[in-house]
């Protein structure tokens, strides 16, 4: 299981600069004019996790493998995108593929950087994109309703799905996003969402792109953004796209010292991935042996067999048991052998719920 984050926003708010910096790929064109990005840029990067380094000091493996996250830099959106304006339909189609939306919002003044709307106003910018996502969902849903209306005449299941679709249509017509729909646990809704992949149902992280002086303190733009995010159950991370690009190529220790000099504990990449994991309810467990120390991404609440299946489906099918040591105990006792001697190695069955940081060894038979 991986995490896919789509970077969206109005044209020219720093999306491509942020993508370049976060992925260290430097392959997204960045320029001071709208629609600089047409095809979505993609890059897969490692999920930062200091625990892997600590495990490696003990195990001394041949290689270390991190969990991975995909970043997608999606073309800028303008008013009317849901009707095909700008690169609208293409843009909206690309968003369907991602798990989480990183909605980058400009929160700095600079007369040398063009704003497509003529002025800096984070809440207006958010409203433009939110409305286009909502209108795109409404158009998609209306097409499905037409089909369901025909089917419902002779199909009870189609009738039940039509009812929930009509309720959702009314919800969207009141300019409320799918994510606030009250009946998301309804089976009919789940089927619709799986088929149509509603854009306004995706988790959103707002990225406040600020100038350097406002990394350690908030300006009025960030204050208004945080208030809005809090009211809409969204998260806000703050970054300076220009500085993130400047840090590309720095050694880890140099980068850490540079961030601390600015009053920051984390860079943009760490903030975004940590918040993305939190919003999607993702955690990591580890496998640790002389061949490799590796991180695996699962959903919080997954059982041991499901976690085993992330490595290989045969592990899940033939699951027998999981030998488990908590990360804290593995570090405390200096490895598997001594943890086992101390009674810290547990044998868990099919009902065990894997915890963040567990070191797992699966026994299976197929």
Q: SS3 helix, strand, coil % of the chain, rounded to 5?
A: 45, 20, 35
Give the residue from 325, 300, 323, 304 showing the smallest Cα distance to 315. Answer: 304
Strand 100-106 and strand 3-8: the pairing is parallel
Q: Is 14 annotated in some ligand binding site?
A: yes
Q: Is 12 annotated in some ligand binding site?
A: yes
Task: Let me know if 233 is exposed, middle or buried by CB neighbors in 10 A (0-12, 13-18, 19+).
Answer: exposed
Which DSSP string corresponds to 19-78? HHHHHS---S---SSTT---SPEEEEEEPP-HHHHHHHHHH--SEEE--EEEEEEPPP--
Rounded Cα–Cα distance for residues 294 and 255 (Å): 24
Q: Is 15 annotated in some ligand binding site?
A: yes
Rounded Cα–Cα distance for residues 135 and 200 (Å): 9
Give the residue from 90, 84, 164 showing the smallest Cα distance to 172. Answer: 164
Q: Which residues of 253-276 are buried (b: 16+ CB within 10 A; e: fewer)?
A: eeeeeebeeeebeebbbbbbbbbb
Give the residue from 296, 292, 312, 314 showing the smallest Cα distance to 358. Answer: 296
Q: Which residues are annotated as a binding site?
A: 12-17
Q: Which residues are annotated as a binding site for ATP?
A: 12-17
């Amino acid at each position: 299981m991986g995490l896919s984050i789509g970077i969206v926003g109005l044209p020219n708010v720093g999306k491509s600069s942020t993508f370049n910096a976060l992925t260290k790929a430097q392959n997204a064109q960045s320029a001071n004019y709208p629609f600089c990005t047409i095809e979505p840029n993609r890059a897969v990067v490692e999920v930062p996790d200091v625990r892997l380094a600590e495990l490696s000091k003990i195990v001394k493996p041949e290689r270390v493998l991190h969990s991975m996250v995909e970043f997608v830099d999606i073309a800028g959106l303008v008013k009317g995108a849901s009707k095909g304006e700008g690169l609208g339909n293409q843009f909206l189609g690309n968003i369907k593929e991602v798990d989480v939306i990183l909605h980058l919002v400009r929160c700095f003044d600079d007369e040398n950087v063009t704003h497509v709307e003529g002025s800096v106003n984070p809440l207006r910018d958010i409203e433009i994109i939110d409305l286009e996502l909502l209108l795109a969902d409404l158009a998609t849903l209306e097409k499905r309703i037409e089909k369901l209306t025909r089917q419902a005449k002779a199909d009870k299941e189609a009738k039940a799905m039509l009812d929930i679709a009509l309720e959702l249509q009314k919800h969207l017509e009141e300019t409320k996003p799918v994510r606030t729909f009250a009946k998301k646990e309804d089976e009919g809704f789940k089927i619709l969402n799986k088929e149509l992949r509603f854009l306004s149902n995706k988790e959103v992280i707002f990225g406040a792109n600020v100038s350097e002086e406002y990394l350690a303190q908030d300006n009025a733009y960030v204050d208004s953004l945080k208030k809005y995010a809090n009211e809409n159950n969204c998260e806000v991370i703050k970054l300076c796209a220009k500085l993130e690009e400047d840090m590309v190529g720095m050694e880890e220790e140099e980068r850490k010292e540079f961030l601390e000099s600015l009053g920051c504990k984390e860079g943009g990449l760490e903030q975004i991935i940590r918040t993305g994991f939190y919003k999607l309810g993702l955690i990591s467990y580890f496998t640790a042996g002389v061949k490799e120390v590796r991180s695996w991404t699962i959903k919080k609440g997954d059982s041991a067999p499901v976690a085993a299946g992330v490595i290989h489906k045969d592990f899940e099918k033939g699951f027998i048991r999981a030998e488990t040591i908590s990360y804290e105990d593995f570090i405390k006792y200096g490895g598997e052998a001594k943890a086992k001697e101390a009674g810290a190695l547990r044998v868990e069955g099919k009902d065990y719920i894997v915890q963040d940081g567990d070191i797992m060894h699966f026994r299976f038979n197929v």
